[in-house]
Structure 1
Amino acid sequence: MDDHAGASIANRDDPIPVIQIPFNTDDTAPPETEQQKLGRRERIKQEAERLKSKLHDVSTQYKTTQGSVQERLFNTLLEQVFPQDAEDDGTPKKDRRSRQYVDKPQFSLPVMSANFRRFNARIGIVFVFQNQMIRLFTWRVPTHTMSFLAVYTLVCLQPALAPVVPLAALLFFVMIPSFLTRHPPPPVANPSSSVDAAAAEQYAAYGYSGPAVAPPQRVKPAPEMSKDFFRNMRDLQNCMEDFSRVHDGAVAVITPYTDFSNERLSSAVFLCLTALVSIAFLAAHLVPWRAILLVAGWSATAAGHPYTQELISNEGFLANLQVIYNRICVFGAEWVESDIVLDEPAQVREVEIFELQRLEKHTLGGEEGAVLQGEWEPWLFTPQPYAPTSPSRIAGARPVGTQFFEDVQPPNGWLWRDKKWTLDLGSREWVEERCVSAVEIETEGERWVYDLDTADSKTKSTTTLSPPKSWEEGSGVSVKGEWRRRRWVRLVERKIVKVSPDE
């Protein structure tokens, strides 16, 4: 039933539109006016249009979702196997390809198959251009390569002519061939055959100034199951292999120097790049870029010549290059070992936790409103002091933390450096630093910071003319509030991840 749910007509959420035509069976009722008849016709017309639109939407959905039962079953299986875009779970993950950034359709086997067929039927022009570039840079036709080098030299010497190149390419490789297709050249008569004067005059009058005699050439996709379609599949297969080889080679060459697995080597590369960026920022205008681009272009094109390829593939030449490369590596390794020193100690930070306790209060019997202060009950360890004026407490939120000291864990990427927590004896300092108000501070003893009772604070404010303080030292006279807290500190150090040479 689920396979045909998308193609069946059923009363799911929206009611099926029904055309209602009221009939007047009362003979005594007054006849309808012209305005009432017109309103009834409009309502019937709107209902008919709504029904027509509903049927059109259902037929369109059926056409887009129809397919073989096997494809739909396999698509459903893939939706269960492959995970969808994960929702936000509080972890700091960032995937720029997620639907959170760009709304794109989910993976579907029928859509994938249809898109691949359409893409493969139209990708042939890319592979034709690729083959032309290969023929150009491998000197298959030397005159073409030399013409390219002449144009490249002209652009290097006169960079202002760079916009002319794409315009000229559009003119000579698109417009002129399209015109010649619509106006083909006149047929060439066979000199050995006898042609009368009338035919000769007809050939002479057949030129480019007359009307078009041929239809325009359209770029059409390659038909499926044709030779061009399978050629595109072959070229696409080889292109994927070439991309994989280039990708793996680039990762193997670049990654060891830039991922800081060898911190000395990556630090040396970082220093070199920083120096080059500084030099380029200050002296880029002094570099002869035209000459550099000219020599680089000629060298890269000359490297594709068959004679150059034969010279490069010579074993003696490769051996000399290997010797030079080994010397450069040895010199670089010696410089890295002697000048790049990584003797900085591990990064150390101080973390804090607040021990929070709650006061148990019991009402004395027989005396209305009398309160007897009970014992302080250990509540939990929290990263925030849960001050009376904190936004979370004003909003009515309960403190969040762990109940036992042993459950407090270091931050991610850090390790404990001290063996145990240390009580912070400077309770006044952290209270003033956080601008905590309506509290009472113990300057001796266990260094608790108590909440002040609200009723007691109002009484004191009415009986004294002195301005209220943001904090008070414990005097033992004021009535303490519901919560008290004290601060514990401990040192942590950055976790060092060691990478083995085999990774």
Structure 2
Amino acid sequence: MDDFGTDVFVNRDDPIPTVILDGSTPRRPRTPSPSAELSDAETPSNRRKGLRGRFSALKEKARIQDQLVEKLLAQVVPLDDAQIPEDEPAQKGGSPGVARPNFNLTTMSNNFRRFNARIGVVFVFQARVIRILSWRQPTHTLSFLAIYTLVCLDPYLLPLLPLTILLIGVLVPSFVARHPAAEFSLSSEQAIGYSPHGPPLAPAITVKPVKELSRDFFRNMRDLQNSMEDFSQLHDGVITLVVPRTNFSDDALSSALFVSLFAACLFMSIAANVLPWRLIFLTLGWAVTCMGHPAVQRQIQTAHEKHIHPQEEKARGLVEKWVERDVILDSAPETREVEIFELQRLSGAGEWEPWLFSASPYDPLSAGRIAGDRPVGTRFFEDVLPPQGWEWSEKKWALDLWSREWVEERIITGVEVETEGERWVYDIYDEQAVEKVGVIELPAPGKGKEKDKALPPKPSWEEGEDGDGRRGEWRRRRWVRLVKRKNIPETST
């Protein structure tokens, strides 16, 4: 450890982990025989060259393996920048316009080594927090509680806390390390205390990363491994506790939780300004810190086994009864009315041909009609599907007998409306009739095949003798049907 110095931030209190690469028991070092003599081929210089060559060969082999794995990943993962849309950043999480490197095994390995060599300061801080909360040194814990109490009683001291930590925790130790106390024997009369006078006697403290493949490097790797496991367990615990109660897989329980949180929000919005927040935070801080004491933990564990655990089932039963009794859910699915328009086109023979079923009435002033687009839809009634997430609530479609209403709701002009019969809405091309009348109500058409026939169009309106009975190229009528929300059953994962 003398090679790394005392100015490297690492966690030095735990034993050094044993690293076994092949999974077998580590071999004991062989003791060389005193009678054995080194031959010319086994001189120290040749041994260095051999080790150096083997190390170079291993590095070359690892580089080739990385290239092969990168090529395999390139076939599975889209690593090319050309596959990223132009309106999105180069990488998720990166700022727009800032180029970020793609995934690369070599870059990943280098960044991990750099990160692991510098993460020791975080583990040092974590170890010191654990020491304080676990009462390993009661004087440190009591000092922390004293500072916490002062901040809770006088919150205006909170901005002073980071400045004090920087002053006492960083600058003072750095000055003492730069100006160490003089060494005197215990019997010397000059040992009267620390004196800061005089020039610096020691080099300044610097923070530098640990060396790779050193003991501190493997300590950081071990702590990083354990931290990842702790995060995974915490994540899984939170997901198991929170998600089933908040994702409405159980509608009654999630609804009860929603009502409780809503009531809590109302209470906090009214009473937040009168609550003694200083006393609350002071009590919580002392309670959490005291719970870390070994004696208190033993008492809590005993009380939980004897008193709390037997009452958990009873409390859970009371909550379930309250949910079943007070939380009333409407089990009937939501229903809505959907529409479809049956379009027919006038053929050259003067007969109406079924064209398609469309979601738009394709009126003369619609955007698609003006743009010259053809209507979009399906040819057959059976091919009309309900909206996504819905299912049919009725077996058949029903003809809308109030054609005039849906025409007026959409402010459609230039059409003729049948108020009886099959409720067709026809196009008209007489511009004067459209400007003067807008919507014209027609009597019921005659019986037989004549009701579906219209007079053949003339070359133009100007050449015709009269515009009576002339209709446009399209006619439509509206069909309606009820749909309901589709009940999606839960899938067990």
Give the TM-score normalised by structure 1. 0.74
Distance 2:258 2:441 in 1: 54
Q: 1:115 to 1:282 in 2, by over 3 A?
A: same
Residue 189 of structure 1 corresponds to: 185
Residue 228 of structure 1 corresponds to: 216
With a CA cutoff of 8 Å and minimum separation of 6, indicate the structure with the bigger relative contact order.
2
Residue 300 (structure 1) aligned to one of 280, 288, 312: 288
Q: 1:73 to 1:393 in 2, by over 3 A?
A: farther
Deviations 1:213-260 (A, max 9, x none): 322222111221111111111000000000111111111111222111
Distance 1:317 1:410 in 2: 55
Q: Name the SS for the 1:374 alignment partner.
A: coil
The alpha carbon displacement at 1:375 in A equals: 2.2
Contact 1:452 1:478 in 2 (8 A): no
Deviations 1:74-115 (A, max 9, x none): 212112223569879xxxxxxx95889897543222222122
Amino acid of the structure 2 residue aligned with 1:451: D
Residue 109 of structure 2 corresponds to: 113
Residue 331 of structure 1 corresponds to: 318
Distance 1:76 1:441 in 2: 67
Residue 196 of structure 2 corresponds to: 208
1:146 aligns with 2:142: yes
1:283 aligns with 2:271: yes
Distance 2:340 2:65 in 1: 60
Residue 167 (structure 1) aligned to one of 163, 167, 173: 163
Q: Name the SS for the 2:272 alignment partner.
A: helix
Out of 316-325 and 468-477, give the one that drifted further: 468-477
1:359 aligns with 2:346: yes
1:237 aligns with 2:225: yes
Q: 1:70 to 1:178 in 2, by over 3 A?
A: same
Residue 368 (structure 2) aligned to one of 385, 392, 395: 392
1:218 aligns with 2:206: yes
Q: Name the SS for the 2:232 alignment partner.
A: helix
1:349 aligns with 2:336: yes
Q: Name the SS for the 1:286 alignment partner.
A: coil
Q: 1:100 to 1:445 in 2, by over 3 A?
A: farther
Give the TM-score normalised by structure 2. 0.75
Contact 1:357 1:483 in 2 (8 A): yes
Q: How does 1:76-95 map to 2 (within 5 A)?
A: 76-83=71-78
Amino acid of the structure 1 residue aligned with 2:157: L
1:75 aligns with 2:75: no
Distance 1:98 1:152 in 2: 36
Distance 1:213 1:157 in 2: 43
Amino acid of the structure 2 residue aligned with 1:336: V
Q: 1:248 to 1:102 in 2, by over 3 A?
A: farther
Q: How does 1:129-144 map to 2 (within 5 A)?
A: 129-144=125-140
Residue 480 of structure 1 corresponds to: 471
Deviations 1:50-73 (A, max 9, x none): xxxxxxxxxxxxxxxxx9343233
Deviations 1:190-231 (A, max 9, x none): 638xx9xxxx7xx99994233323222221112211111111
Contact 1:440 1:473 in 2 (8 A): yes
Q: 1:498 to 1:107 in 2, by over 3 A?
A: same
Give unpaired runs (5+ residues) of structure 2: 1-61, 86-90, 444-453, 455-467
Amino acid of the structure 1 residue aligned with 2:131: R
Q: Name the SS for the 1:313 alignment partner.
A: helix
Residue 480 (structure 2) aligned to one of 489, 496, 500: 489
Distance 1:468 1:478 in 2: 17
The alpha carbon displacement at 1:436 in A equals: 0.9
Deviations 1:15-68 (A, max 9, x none): xxxxxxxxxxxxxxxxxxxxxxxxxxxxxxxxxxxxxxxxxxxxxxxxxxxx93
Distance 2:265 2:480 in 1: 44
Contact 1:358 1:376 in 2 (8 A): yes
Distance 1:185 1:98 in 2: 50
The aligned length equals 401
Amino acid of the structure 2 residue aligned with 1:284: A
Q: 1:137 to 1:440 in 2, by over 3 A?
A: same
Residue 468 of structure 1 corresponds to: 436
Residue 389 (structure 2) aligned to one of 389, 396, 413: 413
Q: 1:213 to 1:345 in 2, by over 3 A?
A: same
The alpha carbon displacement at 1:174 in A equals: 1.1
Q: Name the SS for the 1:377 alignment partner.
A: strand
Deviations 1:116-167 (A, max 9, x none): 1111111110011000000010000000000000111111111111111111
Residue 46 of structure 1 corresponds to: none
Distance 1:278 1:436 in 2: 48
The alpha carbon displacement at 1:344 in A equals: 4.6
Distance 1:420 1:87 in 2: 47
Q: 1:258 to 1:174 in 2, by over 3 A?
A: same
Identity %: 51
Distance 2:223 2:418 in 1: 80
Residue 154 of structure 2 corresponds to: 158
Q: Name the SS for the 1:481 alignment partner.
A: coil
Q: 1:102 to 1:235 in 2, by over 3 A?
A: farther
Distance 1:258 1:102 in 2: 38
Distance 2:193 2:138 in 1: 38
Contact 1:71 1:109 in 2 (8 A): yes
Distance 1:100 1:141 in 2: 46
Residue 457 of structure 1 corresponds to: 431
Distance 1:136 1:143 in 2: 9
Give unpaired runs (5+ residues) of structure 1: 1-66, 89-95, 362-372, 462-466
Q: Name the SS for the 1:381 alignment partner.
A: strand
Q: 1:144 to 1:417 in 2, by over 3 A?
A: same
Contact 1:356 1:381 in 2 (8 A): yes
Distance 2:194 2:147 in 1: 35
Residue 34 of structure 2 corresponds to: none
Q: Name the SS for the 1:224 alignment partner.
A: coil
1:426 aligns with 2:414: no
Contact 1:350 1:490 in 2 (8 A): yes
